[in-house]
A and B are shown apart, each in its own frame.
Chain A
């Protein structure tokens, strides 16, 4: 019976995740928020249809450039962009994501680049995003148990930045599921010592690099995890095996460059390395504090801050398993800082599943250990943000008195309960924290479901 309830709970979360991602998936983010979405799909489509990758770039180093008005979704009537710089053969990024979205558009009957609409091309992203929620559950379950897995996957399923960000055709959204798969298999390998699991981890880490080169985070994270957590004498051989397998797959991108035009390929790789460092010196602050999906479009998401607070909290917990979250996060932080080009939100997407797991772990620990004050802080942030996203400030005035009174009372009561170890107060406190978290998740779900094209223009936070 309990097993059935557990399975049903996971299914509910996955179905909810799918529905939240699917609802308004082609309206929000609005077409033209990022022309990369078209570019990725055009590359994959032209590879399949014409045997040649054509995409948008503008990076120096391309021999072939054509400035054309390709008006998919009538985007050029909504966004002032000028003629689009089409480059071919296109090597800005590996082509896996384009093959997925452009290939899907091709199957659905697109005949040329202009035919590719986000209504079609974003559909695989909805599936990838939903799959990632399931993988967050599995990764958390393998390492931290069922409750952490449920909390983590529920957060990752509903938090607005993740839901809306995961709809976008961006390389990071391809990196995430394969990074999670590589981490799941390396976790199983570290437990079971089954060498084939290590190979699978290497395969998935390699595939993540075929979506975007920042997928190297999977290789770095798994490598460091082997070196730190593998207790066997043969760990150097294991590390070598992982790198050999993953880089062999990643080398397909180089072979692809060789196949089309090696000189241009080299130019673009070096050109990428010398890109404008637009994330600036304040990148870490912005990483922690920013919740804008595109310029000036902030979304109400309290979970990101909770995630970072949980990471800092995790650093103080003595548990080697925490490294399975900390190491990939640090690895991606290094990749983010090193490769950082612009302050685009989608560059930060691979942090989010790791932050969700960290939040799940810390929240569960707080509840078990009855650390009510910490619990109030961690739950009140997403709760408050969630409420303010669905209730206007003027309407909130109706409840303002209750909020003013209840919140301080709870803080005092929880302080007393925690300080004097009062069992009654602490057990009530646990339920209140659960209630706050559940309300926050419901508020997030309502917000995302209602966030359509009109809200995109009218909503401000």
Chain B
């Protein structure tokens, strides 16, 4: 094959390729007009699945070293010797309230908290779940029959 024929083939190929690419670009440009204003919504990320009803089956293996100042703890105490400790970063949630932090840990672990459990923020019973929480603090949730003293008075 002559060089001129080869170059003709290449020119044709590139012409057709970029024509096709251009058509696809324009089509997608029209189809995805609002891409510049894309917002990362929770529905894109999470499935809100519940895999277990026992809050003490699993826990987040976060590294407080990495989260440093932003970390927060939510612990679940199912029995005197059965607890799960979760450390996570508050940077990951929008509202820094007791409700949203507990919900976030439940969502991450894909677990459910029974209604009869009671939760304490820094060992004070939470009565208003919309109360603001602060970095570095802890929420403890207890199964019925377990109290703060049962866990924290242990040697």
Residue pair B40, A83 in contact (C-beta under 8 Å): no
- Provide the A248-261 mask, 1 if CB < 8 A to any CB of B, else 0: 11001001000111
Residues in B with CB closer than 8 Å to A76 are 60-62, 108
Residue pair A244, B110 in contact (C-beta under 8 Å): no
Contact partner of B35 (CB less than 8 A), chosen from A66, A86, A260, is: A260
Residues in B with CB closer than 8 Å to A249 are 17
Residue pair A54, B61 in contact (C-beta under 8 Å): no
Residues in A with CB closer than 8 Å to B108 are 69, 71, 76
> B25: shortest Cβ distance to chain A, in Å?
7
Indicate if B18 sits at the interface (CB-CB under 8 A): yes
Known: A76-B61, A82-B63, A112-B44. A248 touches B51 (CB 8 A): no
Residues in A with CB closer than 8 Å to B51 are 74
Among B38-56, those with CB < 8 Å from A are: 38, 40, 43-47, 49, 51
> A121: shortest Cβ distance to chain B, in Å?
15
Residue of A nearest to B33 (CB): A51
Residue of B nearest to A75 (CB): B61
Residue pair B91, A71 in contact (C-beta under 8 Å): no
> From DSSP, what is the main secondary structure of chain B's interface residues?
helix
Residue pair A237, B45 in contact (C-beta under 8 Å): no
Residue pair B63, A69 in contact (C-beta under 8 Å): no
Indicate if B153 sits at the interface (CB-CB under 8 A): no
> A244: shortest Cβ distance to chain B, in Å?
5
Residue of A nearest to B52 (CB): A74
Max chain A Cβ within 10 angstroms of own Cβ: one of B7, B25, B45: B45
Residues in B with CB closer than 8 Å to A234 are 3, 6
Indicate if B154 sits at the interface (CB-CB under 8 A): no
Indicate if B29 sits at the interface (CB-CB under 8 A): yes
Q: How large is the interface on B (under 10, 10 to 19, 20 to 34, 35 or more residues)?
A: 35 or more
- Provide the B1-39 mask, 1 if CB < 8 A to any CB of A, else 0: 101001101100110011001000100110110011010
Among B42-100, those with CB < 8 Å from A are: 43-47, 49, 51, 58-63, 66-67, 88-89, 91-92
Residue pair A259, B61 in contact (C-beta under 8 Å): no
Known: A69-B60, A112-B47. A88 touches B92 (CB 8 A): no
Residue pair B109, A77 in contact (C-beta under 8 Å): yes
Residues in A with CB closer than 8 Å to B35 are 51-52, 260
In whole angstroms, how far apart are the Cα atoms of A118 and B73 in the complex? 29
Residue pair A77, B45 in contact (C-beta under 8 Å): no
Residues in A with CB closer than 8 Å to B88 are 69, 83
Residue of A nearest to B34 (CB): A51
Among A336-375, those with CB < 8 Å from B are: none
Contact partner of A237 (CB less than 8 A), chosen from B3, B36, B38, B49, is: B3
In whole angstroms, how far apart are the Cα atoms of A88 and B39 in the complex? 9
Residue pair A82, B21 in contact (C-beta under 8 Å): no
Contact partner of B1 (CB less than 8 A), chosen from A78, A79, A195, A240, is: A195
Residue of B nearest to A244 (CB): B10
User: A-B contact count, CB below 8 Å?
Assistant: 118
Residues in B with CB closer than 8 Å to A71 are 108-110
Contact partner of A241 (CB less than 8 A), chosen from B10, B29, B49, B58, is: B10
In whole angstroms, how far apart are the Cα atoms of A111 and B49 in the complex? 12
Residues in A with CB closer than 8 Å to B32 are 51-52
Known: A50-B44, A115-B47, A195-B1. A237 touches B6 (CB 8 A): yes
Contact partner of A46 (CB less than 8 A), chosen from B1, B17, B31, B44, is: B44
> A9: shortest Cβ distance to chain B, in Å?
37
Residue pair A80, B89 in contact (C-beta under 8 Å): no
Indicate if A245 sits at the interface (CB-CB under 8 A): yes
Residues in B with CB closer than 8 Å to A83 are 67, 88-89, 91-92
Residue pair B6, A77 in contact (C-beta under 8 Å): no
Contact partner of A67 (CB less than 8 A), chosen from B1, B43, B92, B107, is: B92
Known: A68-B92, A241-B6, A255-B21. A77 touches B44 (CB 8 A): no
> B31: shortest Cβ distance to chain A, in Å?
7
> A261: shortest Cβ distance to chain B, in Å?
8
Residue of A nearest to B32 (CB): A51
Residue pair A114, B60 in contact (C-beta under 8 Å): no
Residue pair A199, B109 in contact (C-beta under 8 Å): no
Residue of A nearest to B84 (CB): A77
In whole angstroms, how far apart are the Cα atoms of A240 and B88 in the complex? 55
In whole angstroms, how far apart are the Cα atoms of A54 and B14 in the complex? 31
Residue pair B25, A68 in contact (C-beta under 8 Å): no
Residues in B with CB closer than 8 Å to A88 are 38, 40
Residue pair B40, A66 in contact (C-beta under 8 Å): yes
Contact partner of B13 (CB less than 8 A), chosen from A51, A115, A245, is: A245
- Provide the A96-129 mask, 1 if CB < 8 A to any CB of B, else 0: 0000000000000001111100000000000000
Contact partner of A112 (CB less than 8 A), chosen from B13, B46, B91, is: B46
Residue of A nearest to B1 (CB): A195
Contact partner of B25 (CB less than 8 A), chosen from A70, A114, A195, A255, is: A255
> B11: shortest Cβ distance to chain A, in Å?
9
> A178: shortest Cβ distance to chain B, in Å?
17
Contact partner of B47 (CB less than 8 A), chosen from A67, A81, A114, A252, is: A114
Residue pair B104, A69 in contact (C-beta under 8 Å): yes
Residue of A nearest to B58 (CB): A77
Contact partner of B18 (CB less than 8 A), chosen from A50, A199, A238, A248, is: A248
Residue pair A259, B28 in contact (C-beta under 8 Å): yes
Max chain A Cβ within 10 angstroms of own Cβ: one of B51, B67, B108: B108
Cross-chain pairs A/B with CB under 8 angstroms, 9 sampled: A49-B44, A70-B46, A71-B109, A74-B110, A77-B61, A112-B43, A112-B45, A199-B13, A237-B6
